[in-house]
Amino acid sequence: MAFDFKKEFKEFYLPASKPAIVTMPVMNYLAVRGKGNPNDEGGEYKASLELLYGIAFTIKMSKMGDHRIEGYFDYVVPPLEGLWWAENGEVDYAHKEDFQFISMIRLPDFVTREDFDWAIAEATRKKKKDFSKVEFFHFEEGKCVQCMHIGSYDDEPATIKAMADYAESQGYKMAISEHRRHHEIYLSDPRKTASEKLKTIIRYPIE
């Protein structure tokens, strides 16, 4: 059976619907940076997803080709994630055109930068597409407050308020910075799931 990050690391991928404190380990990701309304057809966000999944599945399917990744094991591609902010700081759901983002998919620990470089070259060769925007992204998130949000993305502010209140009750405060952002992990496919049933992990850095 393929290794599934969501099942093996439930504290990171299946939190309760009430806020909790978690300390995140350092992780490596595939990442693409961009800006603009994520709902725009033909926008940078949707283009970033095509790039990310192109490389994610090139790495996953490397076992079928000539490239051998040391320590490779079969796994389920981890869920899509995103870091979000705006030029003036916090995300403003009323002005999505001002959003900036880093779209991400977690890499298994056995994937090295050399394996990443191979995957970029291999996907470019096979798919005849430019994957140069995809980064090998090293992310150290640290201590955070997180919560499972169920419902529309536009309803997230109420969950974020509950998270902030909980963090304060535990002696912390939200600590958004240039390197620690509003973080979302998408457990539902919005193309196939009603908005009121969407499951999204929201994670905020604290100090």
d(Cα 115, Cα 45) in Å, to the nearest integer? 25
pLDDT of residue 106: 98
**Average of per-residue pLDDT values in the chain:** 95
- Torsions phi, psi of 148, nearest 5? -80, 120
- Continuous segment of H or E residues that includes residue 49: helix 44-60
pLDDT (average), residues 86-95: 77
pLDDT band at 65 (very low <50, low <70, confident <90, very high): confident
Asked if residue 117 has pLDDT above 90, the reply is: yes
pLDDT (average), residues 125-148: 97
Domains, in order of start, for the chain: 1-26+140-207 (3.20.80.10), 35-137 (3.20.80.10)
Tens of pLDDT, residues 164-199 = 999 999 999 999 998 899 999 999 999 999 999 999
Asked if residue 138 has pLDDT above 80, the reply is: yes
pLDDT of residue 66: 79
CA distances from residue 142 to 13, 81, 162 in whole angstroms, order as listed: 16, 16, 20
Asked if residue 161 has pLDDT above 80, the reply is: yes
d(Cα 47, Cα 52) in Å, to the nearest integer? 9
pLDDT of residue 64: 81
DSSP 69: -
How many other C-beta atoms are found inside a 10 Å radius of the C-beta of residue 49?
A: 15
CA distances from residue 145 to 24, 114, 124, 170, 172 in whole angstroms, order as listed: 10, 33, 38, 10, 9
Give the closest residue to 82 by CA, choosing from 123, 124, 139: 139
Q: Is 152 left (phi over 0), alpha (psi -120 to 50) or beta?
A: beta
Asked if residue 68 has pLDDT above 90, the reply is: no
Asked if residue 112 has pLDDT above 70, the reply is: yes
pLDDT of residue 89: 64
pLDDT (average), residues 142-167: 97
pLDDT (average), residues 95-114: 95
Tens of pLDDT, residues 5-53 = 999 999 999 999 999 999 999 999 999 999 999 999 999 999 999 999 9
CA distances from residue 21 to 73, 82, 146 in whole angstroms, order as listed: 31, 19, 6
